[in-house]
Structure 1
Amino acid sequence: MAVRRTPRFYFSLRSPYSWLAYRDLLERYPTLANELDWVPFWEPDELSRRLLAEAGGEFVYTAMSRAKHLYVLSDMRRLAADRELEFSWPVDREPCWEIPHLAYLVACRHGAGPEYVAHAYRARWQEGRNICDRATVARIGDALGLDADELASASDDPEVRREGVEALLAIYRDGVFGVPFFVHGFEKFWGVDRLPAFAASVPLPVRADAGPLPVGAPGRTDEGHAGGCG
């Protein structure tokens, strides 16, 4: 009999839709949130792309058009207002997305993946800070009581890079083309508005009104538009 893999949530610290899905998941489906594998999704730099290709994978995401970007700005205002959320739209100048996402993998090693995600999302989407700035990641490390330099320099560590390639391979193998993206068995769900359908597909005693978890997400370690973002 084939082994069924743990249901997975592909999230990106860059994506505003991932941020909303993260909040909805914790507030509406906390039991489910604790049972998922949380896999970071990011646009790899040249080194990660080379390592990914050497491992037999590729990154299939394509950057959004200007028209889609303008749509996302308007759409996020609506979705945030529906949730009574205020947010700050950050400005990304020559970002290196390995910096915050590989730092997440390091935080997971220390059992602080959930807290790192919470702090990183808050920094980016509520405080408008640049999470690709190593100083921002170091401050998150300090706030979590972790080695700030270890988190800030995660992208320089060959071992962490290799772990990151495993995440990129999972993205490739699951056919993830945008985020948030949920996978359960052979079923795939793209977009924040697909979260209820994903939750319904997982046989857990999950209640949509179960209330929020404590601070932090649980975590274990395009084309078209459906509430997904590139």
Structure 2
Amino acid sequence: MPAPVTFWFEFASTYSYLSVMRIEAEAARRKVEVKWTPFLLGPIFKAQGWDTSPFNLYPAKGRNMWRDMERRAAKFAIPFKPWTGEDGRIFPQNGLLAARTAIAALHEPWGRDFVRRVYTAQFAEGLDISNPNVIGDCIEAAGGVDRIYLHMGHSNTQKQRLKENTDAAIAAGVFGAPSFTVGGELFWGDDRLEDALDWALSHPA
């Protein structure tokens, strides 16, 4: 049996969007089990002395990232609306409510669809995922009841679980998103998604 893969994603992460949209089909093709695990990059960045995304701190890196995202999204036929700096959108967005809600939703059959819809709202439709109405619409469209899961997203239980996920990511050596861990092996970046799944396939549990 292939080793399971833990998929670490952060809702503010551009490249996590690509992996979220691709990983299910790639994992199914290899018959690899994947544990979807939302976490927060903020505490990891803060430990490095950063108060925002490195794509903001280093403008040349940021410009390259947006262009690279356009190329990769086109390659995989994933809808994508890049930031222009002129449309009033903020990057990175606050994905706190989305992450807390996802922790609850991922226990449901529609949970992964919810995650995909949140990313699509942000990176394809240009919506603000810190807005509870946007998250509520994603819950309903995925098959959940918005008032129930929005309430859960604000609960202390989900706050604690998100903190535990973030602590676990740090303990696993995660420093960016998306990341994939297979046993003690860490793979970072959407372009390492297939490598992580292939490693799981060639290193049975």
TM category (shorter chain) comes to 0.7 to 0.9
Number of aligned positions between the proteins? 190
Instruction: Provide the C-alpha distance between the structure 2 equivalents of 1:20 and 1:118, rounded to a whole number of angstroms.
Output: 10
Q: Note closer, same or farther for the CA distance 1:15–1:32 as it changes in structure 2 (3 Å cut).
A: farther
- The correspondence of residues 1-230 of structure 1 with structure 2, limited to 5 A, is 6-31=4-29, 35-44=33-42, 60=47, 62=50, 63-64=53-54, 65=57, 66-89=59-82, 91-92=89-90, 95-203=93-201
Between Structure 1 and Structure 2, the one with more helix by share is: 2
TM-score (norm. length: structure 2): 0.79
Alignment gaps of 5+ in structure 1 = 50-56, 205-230
What are the Cα deviations for residues 12-41 of structure 1, in whole angstroms up to 9, with x where unaligned?
222221111223323333255761111113
Matched residues in 2 for 1:133 and 1:201: separation?
Answer: 38
**Distance in structure 2 (CA, Å) of the matches to 1:95 and 1:82:** 25
* Inter-CA distance 146–196: structure 2 relative to 1 (3 Å threshold): closer
More displaced 10-residue stretch of structure 1: 177-186 or 67-76: 67-76
How many percent identity over aligned positions? Answer: 23
For residues 9 and 126 of structure 1, the distance between their equivalents in structure 2, rounded to whole angstroms, comes to: 22
**Which stretch of the first structure deviates more once superposed, 61-70 or 176-185?**
61-70
Of the structure 1 ranges 82-91 and 164-173, higher mean CA displacement relative to structure 2 is found in 82-91
Q: Cα distance 1:191–1:199, how it changes in 2: closer, same or farther (>3 A)?
A: same
Q: Quick check: 1:10–1:179 contact (8 Å CA) kept in 2?
A: yes
Q: Return 13-22 or 97-106, whichever deviates more.
A: 13-22
Structure 2 unmatched ranges of 5 or more: 84-88
Q: CA RMSD in A?
A: 2.8
